[in-house]
Amino acid sequence: MIGQIIFALLLLTISAFAYIKYAALARNIRLGKSEKISGDSGKRLKNMLLVAFGQSKMFKRPVAAVLHLFIYVAFLITQVELIEIVLDGLLGEHRIFWKLWHENTLLSGLYSFIISFIEILSLLALLATFAFLSRRNLLKIPRFRKSELNGWPILDANIILYAEIVLVTCIFTMNSADMALHKNEYGFAVSGLISGIWSGSSDETLHLAERIGWWGHIMVVFAFLAYLPFSKHLHILLAFPNTYFARINPKGEMANMESIQKEVASMFNPSAETSTSTEIPKFGVSDVFDLSRTQILAAYTCTECGRCTANCPANLTGKKLSPRKIMMDVRDRADEIGKNIDANKTEFIRADQKDKSSKLTAENYEDGRSLFDYISTEELHACTNCNACVEACPVLINPLDIIQEMRRNLILEQSVSPDSWNAMFNTVENNGAAWAFSSDERAKWANEFK
């Protein structure tokens, strides 16, 4: 009974903590602007099933994809055993599914098959874990050695891998000791082979080992639930909504700015609709408040795998731009704002709102910082708009959208752009094209080829 109470209290505590952290995460995503999600919902659902659930884009790198698949499938199937452990903990039972099914030959065989399958997958996941630890820490693959991964990101990636080793060790300790204690009654495949290590152990020792494995397993799961909101492994959950809400229009298509579009239309057609707002429009993006919620969602979905940066021609030629860093910076800025709001740092209430509220909110927030404190103009100017990063991302994240919007803000609001760009802007304004020739000269040149 004491064990049940301890288990229930732990479950409630972890659930409450996780709820608070996931609610804060949702609040951070809502810092962005809401947007109308349009387009073929069937295509969106297909993207989610193929890319998030089916891992289809991972297989452009077959070796890494297969290793990742071992961990991913093991994670999914192990939830069956996890459900049994949670029920056992709450009800004070031991292998409740086995107790319910063991008298039925078909169901008991199914139980043994499921747990055996989980054990095989866990063994493959363990091998994949060691491979990933080697790739990150021994082989020194270039995309895992970039400066944006220094510090916490490297530690974060390793923590999960170490936790995976502990989890699998606990699973086999629990199952093999239980098999030895019950004279191989369950018929588990891998544990049946290794249960001989307990030969000669007393029933008390076997029971203690099984309990250590059982509690170790569930404690790693609880720790993972509490840790996930702080980790890049949020993509386990967020990849599904992110792939559903990802852009389905052509990759090279840029979104028009409505205020400018209306003004230009009125120049060609005086009867066209013009903006009636007296507010000065905001051009581009300077902070997370200007981003859409799906763009912030994408930042939290980023797996930090670095495929985008590894395929970026600007980065490959030694320029400062790293698309992965762009997404990490957006996430870090959203986290910074969220923490300030949670701490109610009233010094960040906008000057014109200080007399109206004593509570810091997203609506009255102003700390004198922006995304440009995280992302430099050098990085933004280096982008070639080639969409290599978009094509490479295994979960359909689009760093280019954010880069383009921040460049719009630099050019249209801050008048910050390279001289070569300014020259092009002038020729477009004066000649209607990027080339320094009048329309008559261009027409004459074109006529020569008729």
- As a whole number, the mean pLDDT across the chain is 89
What is the C-alpha separation between 313 and 384, in angstroms, rounded?
Answer: 8
Q: What is the mean pLDDT of residues 426-433?
A: 80
Q: How far apart are the first and last CA of the chain?
A: 92
The pLDDT value recorded for residue 15 is 94
% pLDDT > 70, the chain:
97
**Confidence (pLDDT) at 277:** 60
> Which of 33-42, 156-165, 231-240, 374-383 has the weakest average pLDDT?
33-42
Is the Cα torsion angle 257, 260, 263, 268 positive or negative in sign? negative
Reported as a single tens digit per residue, the pLDDT across 243-261 is 999 988 888 788 887 777 7
Residue 399: how many other CB atoms lie within 10 Å? 27
Whether the Cβ atoms of residue 357 and residue 364 lie closer than 8 Å to each other: yes
Q: Give mean pLDDT, residues 392-409.
A: 95
DSSP string, 24-87: HHHHHHTTSB-----S-HHHHHHHIIIIIIS-GGGGGSHHHHHHHHHHHHHHHHHHHHHHHHHH
pLDDT at residue 439 greater than cutoff 90: no
pLDDT of res. 48: 94
- What DSSP letter does each residue of 260-323 carry, written as one string? HHHHHHHHH-TTS------SPPPPS-SSGGGSBHHHHHHHHH-----HHHHT-HHHHTT-S--H
**pLDDT band (50, 70, 90) for residue 402:** very high
Residue written as token pair 């020569």: 448
Token pair of 318, please? 């030694």
Return the SS3 of 366. Answer: coil
Mark residue 169 as left, alpha or beta (left: phi above 0; alpha: psi -120 to 50; beta: remaining). Answer: alpha
Mean pLDDT, rounded, for 290-309:
95
Residues 309, 191: Cα–Cα separation, whole Å: 42
Grade residue 273 by pLDDT with cuts at 50, 70 and 90: low
Mean pLDDT check: name the lowest of 93-107, 212-226, 354-368.
93-107
Q: What is the mean pLDDT of residues 121-146?
A: 92
Long-range contacts of 285-288 (CB under 8 A, 24+ apart): 285/371, 285/402, 285/405, 285/406, 285/408, 285/409, 286/370, 286/371, 286/372, 286/406, 286/409, 286/413, 287/333, 287/369, 287/370, 287/371, 288/31, 288/32, 288/330, 288/333, 288/334, 288/337, 288/371
**Bridge partners, 349 (sequence order):** 365
Q: Over the stretch 64-104, which tens digit does the pLDDT of each residue have?
A: 889 999 999 998 888 888 999 999 999 988 899 888 887 77
Q: Give the per-residue pLDDT at 276.
A: 60
Contact 68, 128 (CB under 8 A): yes
Cα 316 from Cα 185, distance rounded (Å) = 58
Average pLDDT over residues 138-162: 91
- Percent of the chain exceeding pLDDT 90 equals 62
Residue 357 or residue 56, greater confidence = 56
Q: How far apart are CA 240 and CA 236, in angstroms?
A: 8
Provide the 3-class DSSP secondary structure of residue 365: strand
Please state whether the predicted TM-score (pTM) of the whole model is above 0.85.
yes
Q: How many CA atoms lie within 13 A of 189 on its CB side?
A: 15
Amino acid 272: pLDDT: 63
User: Which of these, 320, 317, 295, 324, lies nearest to 393 by C-alpha position?
Assistant: 324
SS3 191: helix
Q: Within 13 A of 153's CA, how many CA atoms are on the CB side?
A: 20
CA-to-CA dists, residue 227 to 152, 162, 223, 422, angstroms: 13, 14, 6, 47
Question: Which pLDDT belongs to residue 421?
Answer: 84
pLDDT score recorded for residue 20: 95
The pLDDT of residue 201 is: 87
Is residue 340 within 8 Å of 332, Cβ to Cβ?
no
The residue length of the chain stands at: 450
d(CA 436, CA 27): 49
Provide the 10 A C-beta neighbour count for residue 229: 19
Q: What is the pLDDT of residue 450?
A: 66
Q: Is the pLDDT of residue 16 over 90?
A: yes
- Looking at residue 349, what DSSP letter applies? B
Residue 274: pLDDT over 70 = no
Distance CA(74)–CA(117), nearest Å, equals 9
User: Does the structure show a pLDDT above 80 at 411?
Assistant: yes
Residue 275 reports pLDDT greater than 70: no
